[in-house]
Amino acid sequence: MVGLGTASHARRRHAAAALARSMGMGMGMGMGWLSVLLLTLAALLLAPVAAASQARRSPSATGNRILIVHDAEHAPASSLSTLRTILTQRGYAITFRDAKRSKPILVEYDEPNFDHVLLLSPGSKTLPADLSAQKLVSFLKDGGNVVFGLSADTVTPAMRDLAREFSLEFQERGNALVDHFRFSQGDDGRHASVLIGGEVVDASTGLFAGGLVGNQVVFSTETLE
């Protein structure tokens, strides 16, 4: 009886010790999972704060990545140094791309690699597939921004197709905008030197008297002077 009792007592001690170890491990694992859960919740809660902080630091609400598409033959990147300096100083990350090249790609696997596009290649007869009129419209609909730089001398078929996506139609070469009421004094008689813009309002008409707008991003200092 004593032997059996002793053996039974020993078994109970071993069982109790095993249970205690099991409970300890369970509590340890529980605490581990609890820690992971707390860290996950903290990350989820802090992510919007970090994103909002990043948005406040960004020069644009949609991002700071700009793709400048240019004609490397007629307008190399070196000729756009002033534009690059101005945008870089404002916090934008600039990437240049020759209009004849296919990389870097604007949108890859449905994810945009850039937030803004400056299309400064008015003489391009064709554009790469990722910069087609339809692709650029899709990029705009997804929240991107596009600035088009066109030339009054040459409007290529690619640019005409792009304009039609926005219900715009360019006139053929040789046509001019005529205004018989607001034309420049230096007009050649066709009344095609139309007065637009400026900062001074004509008191008699309530319209701007014409001239350059003092914007050094658009016009150089020499031009404004």
65-79 pLDDT per residue, tens: 999 998 887 778 888
Burial 189-218 (b: 16+ CB within 10 A, else e): eebebbbeeeeeeeeeeeebbbeeeeeeee
Tokens of 25: 């491990």
- Judge if pTM exceeds 0.85: no
pLDDT class of 210 with cuts at 50, 70, 90: low
pLDDT class of 24 with cuts at 50, 70, 90: very low
Tokens of 196: 């637009």
pLDDT in tens, 87-100: 999 999 999 999 88
Cβ atoms 106, 116 nearer than 8 A: no
pLDDT class of 27 with cuts at 50, 70, 90: very low
C-alpha closest to that of 144 among 159, 157, 158, 131: 131
Which residue has tokens 């140094």?
Answer: 81
Instruction: Give the pLDDT score at 171.
Output: 78
Cβ atoms 149, 115 nearer than 8 A: no
| Interatomic CA distance for residues 133 and 112, integer angstroms | 16
Homologous superfamily in CATH for domain 59-174: Class I glutamine amidotransferase (GATase) domain (3.40.50.880)
Q: Is the pLDDT at 141 greater than 50, yes or no?
A: yes
Rounded to a whole number, what is the largest CA-CA distance in the chain?
Answer: 130
What share of the chain in percent tops pLDDT 70? 62
pLDDT in tens, 116-137: 999 988 888 888 999 998 999 9
